[in-house]
Structure 1
Amino acid sequence: MKILFNNLSKKSRQRLTLSIAFLGICSAYGQEKQQDSTKVEKLDEVLVRAVRVDAKSPITHSNVTKEALAKRNLGQDIPMLLNFLPSVVTTTDAGAGIGYTGIRVRGVSSQSTNITINGIPYNDAESLGTFWVNLGDFASSTESLQLQRGVGTSTNGSGAFGASINVLTDAISKDASGEISNSFGSYNTRKHTVKFSTGLMNDHIEIAGRLSNIASDGYIDRASADLKSYFLQGSYVDDNTLIKAITFGGKEVTYQSWNGLEDLDKLENDRTYNTAGEYTDNNGNLQFYDNEVDNYSQDHYQLHWNQRYDNQWSTTLGLNYTKGQGYFEQYKEDEGFDDYGLDPLDFNGDIINETDLIRRRWLDNDFYVINANANYKDDNLNLIFGGSFSHYDGDHFGEVIWAEYASQTEIRDRYYDGNSIKNDLSLFTKANYRLNEKISLYGDLQVRNVTYKTTGTTSDLVEFAVDKDFTFFNPKAGITYSLNTDNDLYFSYARANREPNRTDFESDQTIKPEQLNDFELGWRHKKNNLSFSANTYFMFYNDQLVLTGESDDVGNPIRQNVDKSYRIGLELEAIIPITPKLTLQPNMTISANKVDELSLSFDGESQNLSNTDISFSPSLVAANAIVFQPLENLQMSLLSKYVGEQFMSNTEAKSSKLDSYFINDFNINYTLKTDSIFDAIVFSGLVNNIFNVKYVSNGYYYTYDDSWSNPGSIATIEGAGFYPQATTNFLVGVTLKF
């Protein structure tokens, strides 16, 4: 439930923006290759320059190309396609990578990962999280993306406290083309995609688009997903001008599966069991409500104008509006009238104050952004400066659409109703300066002001009034030293400040913003086709907002301030050619993630814990891809992932422990070139978890005081829920290109 309500909140985000960027070239699974320095930067790439870095930057990053995404793009969400990048841990509620999915980088949740699309912030303005379920098949419209670890260069949107993911949508195509893609697999999964491009008409204008439908029954019982999405862009380009009008979005209907499993016997013997929608009918029979769903639509409208004035100056303007609207629906048994503002009923002296009912909890949001950047570039200096302003207006309300005993309700009555307004203004300047042939300097200064105001009531019918104003100064600096043509050393420092989210304020209105000081020290080596990099990070927090593992009554994750905490780690990654046809692509992260001191109450006593693990932060994460290409048009890959044990609480409670797991996937791609109707036919196959491992990648932990049921006693009850992931499953697909 927590995930859904957050999801709804986030979905409400809308954006107006402008940006600029650099695109790297990647191997099949995300490892960066050397960029050709003679390559002329495409105008498309300029759209994300403000939020991206290049291969020589002192920022730790990985680039992923369209070609790399396409090899495994058979219906799963973008987080699953990034699963084998360094320091990444992914999870999915429905168990098979379609529907509600999440990504953590360096142990940090999605609420601390800054997401932009063409430089436009995508994170939800209130929850700060990201709901990829609203972007069904978005990988099919992605030209490239860059994952930055640490604070990175998050210029627009909420600050990054673990990572940034910067997405660039499809580039302009000179040639007309079409594409039909269909895939099928386990759990009745299917994906259908149609794409087209007119190519450049009259050498200046292109229209391109995509329609997609992804559906799956899910690994977990009834955890179905029906994701309909679209992407349409019209572009004008000449030697110095690029104008893009883009609209994308879609509608998702997913059966709820965010409850997880608290019954350990079921986790062992009936791990696909789903408690969502469960109720007992009048005859005492167990039933499941057939419409226990999340139903949400989100539409984005972007306008980008990039203008190049000469060889040195260019500007970019971006505007965005996003409309989000939807609800989640639940069947609830024996609900108290007081919880819905209803009056008790008197039937011939019998007082009725409870009822079975069906409720919908709505979000209706509008989000606007405007970004403007200017760029000066010569042989030694690359300077970008600009600003961004966003406005979010979101309504939260609930309706009872059916009740066994309806009391005084009328159709479309709102039993709670609230509104939130959030404004976000940021100004930044950043520069790369080549001091000499050996040394390059990097600097980035940002000032960000956030105002957040709420009115009305929460879903608990409690008045919710927040009026906060935050001003943050976020400096960044770094240096890159080239030992020779094959080796670079780099060091960077970045400070980030970030405001609490809506759920934080609901649980504690005295909660404080968090601050991160991030130090990165690394070495990059590349010679011919061999590359290796090592990066050490030191992330020191003040008042870090860490997940407690608990959830509120609608499933939103609860966080708390921790005075002092840190994450220290070593990241290693490489591309190792064994033969011209066989390549290894390993990566590994070893880390320590600790809370210096934590105060809590347990069984009525105050306790102080020190040096405990931060929740959801495994100390070892490793991955490897063995890529075998016996023919130019045939590639096979064995993809391996290890995630060490982790705790879902900050107290290292035994009941909150998630065991380590090691899984392997197999991916195959074959391209058949033809001279007939189609230019090429691409066959793809993916077998996930080939060794049928029964593992859990996510969950929640909670405690509560049970003294109310045992007057005079003090008892703290612990509990945990787990999200089982799919055993062996497969996807196969065919793409027709013409």
Structure 2
Amino acid sequence: MKNLLVLGGALVALPMLVPQWARAQGPVAGTVTDARSGTALPGATVLLDGAVVGATDAAGAFTVPVVPTGSHELRITFVGYEALARPLQGQTAEQRLALGLQASGVLTGEALVTASRANDRTATAYTNLDRQDLAKRNFGQDIPYLLDQTPSVVVNSDGGAGVGYTDIRIRGTSNTGINMTINGVPLNDAESHGSFLVNLPDLASSVSSLQVQRGVGTSQNGGAAFGASINISTFDARREAYAETQNTYGSFDTWKNNVSFGTGLLGGHFTVDGRLSRIATDGYMNRAASDLKSYYFSAGYQGKNTLLKFITFSGREKTYQSWNGVPEPLLTGNRALLQQFIDNGELSEADAARGLREGRRYSYYTYDNQTDNYQQNHYQLHLSQGLGTDWNLGAALHLTRGFGYYESYRANRKLTNYGLDNVVLRDTTITRTNLIDQKWLDNYFYGGTFALNYQPKANDKLQATIGGAWNRFENDHYGEVIWAQYASNGNIRHRYYFNDAVKTDYHGYARATWQVLPRLSIYGDMQVRHIQYNLDGVENQDSIGTHVSYTFVNPKAGATFSLSEGQLLYASYAVGQREPVRADFTDRPAGDASAKAERLNDVEAGYRISRPEASVFGPNTALRFEANYFYMSYRNQLVATGRLNDVGTALRTNVRRSYRTGLELTGYVAANDLISLSSTLTLSRNRILNYRDVTYDADFLPVEAAEARTTTISYSPSVVSAHTLEGQPLKGLRVALLYKTVGEQFLDNSASANKRIAPYQVLDFRLRYTIKPVFVKEIELGLLVNNVLNREYVANGYTYGYPGADGRQQTFNFYFPQATRNFLASVGVKF
């Protein structure tokens, strides 16, 4: 209640900060649409006398709050459209404009990603973010943290501060169930299905637009969207040359430095853009440092009907391993529980003593190079070709090269587990040793994608796309011992396991929307996907082998009905299916059946209203609201058991029947670009039917299955909300309060009160101040204060258990504490 009072007080007080002179000015407001179809154009750039003063929102609406008296030029630009310049006379009274942009006839990179993006006709729930939306949130934290205020999103960070290894869940689904693409090219790792954005630090600084689809959504390239998809575009046709730098410093010795540049349009046809970035931090947790470097480079040619663009980007990360979390008694101070950890060998006496000193920032590892080291290089070649007046083709070739290793100190390990002979010294046989090993990944991911789009200019009642992709993933897994106290018959870089995986994935889809009646549109989408996965070799001194193939048929259909201008009803049904990940085959407990493919039947239905001007709330007020109901029914869903393997990957098991259902409410209201409030609230029920909770012995062999019952799916809060209150008390100064709440979560599927993540609420404060001195185009000063109320909370964890010395089942919980109050301050300069 106290937090709600703080937020409510801010709602009342912030308008009082707006100076009276700003209120007295006559603003200019309006909408920007496609001149032919009338479709809103979100993200269009608004310039007054050559200076950027804003961008259109999701409804195509914009407001210029202050226009001085005299003559001015209002200019609107949007990728793929001719710029529109309009003379404007400043005056006291409000001016409202309706502006229609003409398609430029010059293809742009955005045409290559729109084939997989949702719109009002595809009858599904989605959120669009443009470059400006991401820029105001970007202080150097990973992309999941930039999406924290979007519906149904929960984020967490191993290191506690949003830099390094971070994770995102949408509707309770982890990133292994979230399809991610960059320019239509799959980003998810083909074996683990995870999208490790730590490998692409500061990618957000090169993103021009991003769409989050919730549920199955439209057909995507790559793995299935089993809870959501995140479609990222780095195409940005900036016609004017630019150079800029962003620099951030903050708590835990966190640094972000980057430089970006672009030539603009050279000779009417050529563009070159680039970025260099470095992000480094010590992390909130002890010994949770990250050192991240990246680059982005693109070169393109565009003509009237052709666009050819080469894009390459890369990231190299070195992060200290912090995926072990903190034992529960170090957070609670429960000495009896701490003794249980000691008695059962989960903590040594020395580690427990150190843990009591370090508290919630405790890190299990102390070896100075206990690190994760990985580099990922991406290469993409994109072609967009106009084919007459109504057709265009988008195609891409891609190659991703990844390689790196975990380096770990291992204490008292059996020599035979590493393929080493026991050491015999006279009457003594040494069977164990301390050692340092490296676990390597060395992979290539390559293939091609295409989308043939039918978009008639004369009549847009029917629009259609035929697309598909072929991708291949080759990955070598191997381990090497680089040092051992007793090396036995080993040499430096003694290789103790090797296995290789090959995965081929190809699919095709056809999609169409048809305006049946002036107010009624129907949508259909059919995808056929085939996967072949082969894994062979040795792991843990045992032979492993997996040879599976799958063919999935995924239909989707929906309808939208326009109640009036800006008001829409929609409903859809979609099927998603996906294969198990590598760990589902290699890390399953003994006695479990082979991992099964999952199936999701997704029903979405909602109401959406978007009004650039909503007189019911007073003049010069913009309003958006959406209510979306979802019912996601699963067969053989792979749910987290709460346990992790030795490199921090969540272990999962199939459950025959389960579902997620809920209501997502999102709203936005703004007045004169002086004050705005956006809110999202998700209320959901996430259940497994007829679930049998299995307990394990000390060797993790199943020994007991409880009576079948209905239970809550792990890591699935029933309440998630996010609220952003933002105001502009002075010209160029924007301040915001960001409030996040996440309900109770369980670490496994037992819904046990002693294996849970407590609900938490977090309040952040953000400030950005822009000035335009004569010697540079713009200087922006920024400040982000995270966790203003200094809450001690955890956002993730894991659990396991087995019988203790007394024969009773013991539970061991580990948690990932998030940082208490901390700050990031930034300076950005545009030349």
TM-score, normalising length: structure 1: 0.92
Measure the CA separation in 1 of the matches of 2:295 and 2:241: 19
- The residue number in structure 1 matching 2:515 is 434
Q: Quote the offset at 1:336 in angstroms.
A: 0.7
Q: Secondary structure at the match of 1:115?
A: strand
Contact 1:95 1:219 in 2 (8 A): yes
Q: Quote the offset at 1:732 in angstroms.
A: 0.7
Q: Quote the offset at 1:29 in angstroms.
A: 13
Q: Quote the offset at 1:694 in angstroms.
A: 0.4
Q: Quote the offset at 1:241 in angstroms.
A: 1.0
- The residue number in structure 1 matching 2:463 is 382
- The residue number in structure 2 matching 1:370 is 448
- The residue number in structure 2 matching 1:333 is 411
Answering whether residue 428 of structure 2 is matched by residue 410 of structure 1, we say no
Measure the CA separation in 1 of the matches of 2:316 and 2:409: 22
Contact 1:23 1:54 in 2 (8 A): no
Contact 1:569 1:591 in 2 (8 A): yes
- The residue number in structure 2 matching 1:482 is 562
Measure the CA separation in 1 of the matches of 2:648 and 2:219: 28
1:25-44 aligned at under 5 Å gives the runs: 25=43, 32-34=58-60, 38=101, 40=103, 43-44=108-109
Contact 1:24 1:54 in 2 (8 A): no
Could you tell me which of 761, 764, 775 is aligned with 1:665? 764
Measure the CA separation in 2 of the matches of 1:159 and 1:734: 40
- The residue number in structure 2 matching 1:350 is 428
1:119-138 aligned at under 5 Å gives the runs: 119-138=184-203
Measure the CA separation in 2 of the matches of 1:369 and 1:202: 32
Measure the CA separation in 1 of the matches of 2:370 and 2:637: 35
- The residue number in structure 2 matching 1:5 is none
Q: Quote the offset at 1:339 in angstroms.
A: 1.2
Contact 1:30 1:68 in 2 (8 A): no
Q: Secondary structure at the match of 2:116?
A: coil
- The residue number in structure 2 matching 1:593 is 686
Q: Secondary structure at the match of 1:46?
A: helix
Measure the CA separation in 2 of the matches of 1:84 and 1:313: 37
Measure the CA separation in 2 of the matches of 1:57 and 1:38: 23
- The residue number in structure 1 matching 2:110 is 45
Q: Quote the offset at 1:463 in angstroms.
A: 1.3
Q: Secondary structure at the match of 1:608?
A: coil
Q: Quote the offset at 1:582 in angstroms.
A: 1.4
Higher-Rg member (1/2): 2
Measure the CA separation in 2 of the matches of 1:208 and 1:606: 58
Q: Secondary structure at the match of 1:33?
A: coil
Answering whether residue 396 of structure 2 is matched by residue 318 of structure 1, we say yes
Q: Deviation digits for residues 314-369 of structure 1, max 9, x if unmatched? A: 00110110000000111111111121011011112211111110010000000002
Q: Quote the offset at 1:170 in angstroms.
A: 3.9
Structure 1, 379-388 or 390-399: larger mean CA deviation: 379-388
Q: Quote the offset at 1:226 in angstroms.
A: 0.4
Measure the CA separation in 1 of the matches of 2:300 and 2:692: 56
- The residue number in structure 2 matching 1:275 is 363
- The residue number in structure 2 matching 1:691 is 789
Q: Quote the offset at 1:674 in angstroms.
A: 2.2
> In the superposition, relative to structure 1, how do residues 271 and 106 fare at CA in structure 2: closer, same or farther (>3 Å)?
farther
Q: Quote the offset at 1:40 in angstroms.
A: 3.1
Could you tell me which of 542, 557, 578 is aligned with 1:498? 578
Name the structure, 1 or 2, with higher relative contact order (CA <8 Å, separation 6+). Answer: 1
Measure the CA separation in 1 of the matches of 2:326 and 2:748: 17
Q: Deviation digits for residues 393-414 of structure 1, max 9, x if unmatched? A: 0000000100000000122221
Could you tell me which of 542, 547, 562 is aligned with 2:655? 562
Q: Which amino acid aligns with 1:149?
A: R
1:78-227 aligned at under 5 Å gives the runs: 78-227=143-292
Answering whether residue 609 of structure 2 is matched by residue 525 of structure 1, we say yes
Answering whether residue 545 of structure 2 is matched by residue 465 of structure 1, we say yes
Measure the CA separation in 2 of the matches of 1:26 and 1:33: 11
Measure the CA separation in 2 of the matches of 1:112 and 1:451: 19
Could you tell me which of 509, 512, 523 is aligned with 2:596? 512
- The residue number in structure 2 matching 1:646 is 745
Contact 2:219 2:525 in 1 (8 A): no
Q: Which amino acid aligns with 2:379?
A: Y
Q: Which amino acid aligns with 1:206?
A: T
Contact 1:194 1:210 in 2 (8 A): yes
Q: Quote the offset at 1:23 in angstroms.
A: 7.9
Q: Quote the offset at 1:158 in angstroms.
A: 0.5
Could you tell me which of 786, 801, 809 is aligned with 1:716? 809
- The residue number in structure 1 matching 2:665 is 572
Q: Which amino acid aligns with 2:642?
A: G
Could you tell me which of 476, 490, 500 is aligned with 1:419? 500
Contact 1:30 1:63 in 2 (8 A): no
Measure the CA separation in 2 of the matches of 1:495 and 1:30: 34
Q: Which amino acid aligns with 1:341?
A: G
1:283-294 aligned at under 5 Å gives the runs: 288-294=366-372
Q: Which amino acid aligns with 2:550?
A: F
Measure the CA separation in 2 of the matches of 1:736 and 1:116: 30
Q: Secondary structure at the match of 2:594?
A: coil
Measure the CA separation in 2 of the matches of 1:689 and 1:26: 33
Measure the CA separation in 2 of the matches of 1:429 and 1:56: 15
Contact 1:629 1:635 in 2 (8 A): yes
Contact 1:98 1:218 in 2 (8 A): yes
Q: State percent identity of aligned pairs.
A: 43
Answering whether residue 406 of structure 2 is matched by residue 308 of structure 1, we say no
> In the superposition, relative to structure 1, how do residues 39 and 562 fare at CA in structure 2: closer, same or farther (>3 Å)?
farther
Q: Quote the offset at 1:556 in angstroms.
A: 1.8
Contact 1:246 1:302 in 2 (8 A): yes
- The residue number in structure 2 matching 1:391 is 472
- Structure 1 unmatched runs, 5+: 1-21, 278-287
Q: Secondary structure at the match of 1:25?
A: coil
Q: Which amino acid aligns with 1:626?
A: L
Q: Secondary structure at the match of 2:322?
A: coil
Contact 2:182 2:234 in 1 (8 A): yes
Q: Which amino acid aligns with 2:648?
A: G
Q: Secondary structure at the match of 2:542?
A: coil
Measure the CA separation in 1 of the matches of 2:672 and 2:304: 42
- The residue number in structure 2 matching 1:631 is 730
- Structure 2 unmatched runs, 5+: 1-39, 46-53, 62-98, 334-355, 614-621, 697-702
Q: Which amino acid aligns with 2:609?
A: H
Measure the CA separation in 2 of the matches of 1:602 and 1:345: 37
Measure the CA separation in 1 of the matches of 2:407 and 2:108: 45
Contact 1:151 1:495 in 2 (8 A): yes
Measure the CA separation in 2 of the matches of 1:511 and 1:683: 52
Contact 1:617 1:647 in 2 (8 A): yes
Q: Deviation digits for residues 642-684 of structure 1, max 9, x if unmatched? A: 00011011111222110000101111111111222x1111111
- The residue number in structure 2 matching 1:4 is none
Q: Which amino acid aligns with 1:730?
A: F
Q: Which amino acid aligns with 1:312?
A: D
Q: Quote the offset at 1:274 in angstroms.
A: 3.5
> In the superposition, relative to structure 1, how do residues 367 and 693 fare at CA in structure 2: closer, same or farther (>3 Å)?
same
Q: Which amino acid aligns with 1:326?
A: G
Structure 1, 375-384 or 321-330: larger mean CA deviation: 375-384
Measure the CA separation in 1 of the matches of 2:264 and 2:55: 28
- The residue number in structure 2 matching 1:7 is none
> In the superposition, relative to structure 1, how do residues 492 and 39 fare at CA in structure 2: closer, same or farther (>3 Å)?
farther
> In the superposition, relative to structure 1, how do residues 395 and 736 fare at CA in structure 2: closer, same or farther (>3 Å)?
same
Measure the CA separation in 2 of the matches of 1:588 and 1:651: 26
Q: Secondary structure at the match of 2:584?
A: helix
Q: Secondary structure at the match of 1:146?
A: strand
> In the superposition, relative to structure 1, how do residues 412 and 238 fare at CA in structure 2: closer, same or farther (>3 Å)?
same
* Residue correspondences, number: 700
Q: Deviation digits for residues 225-275 of structure 1, max 9, x if unmatched? A: 000000000010112111110000121000111100114234557444333
> In the superposition, relative to structure 1, how do residues 446 and 37 fare at CA in structure 2: closer, same or farther (>3 Å)?
farther
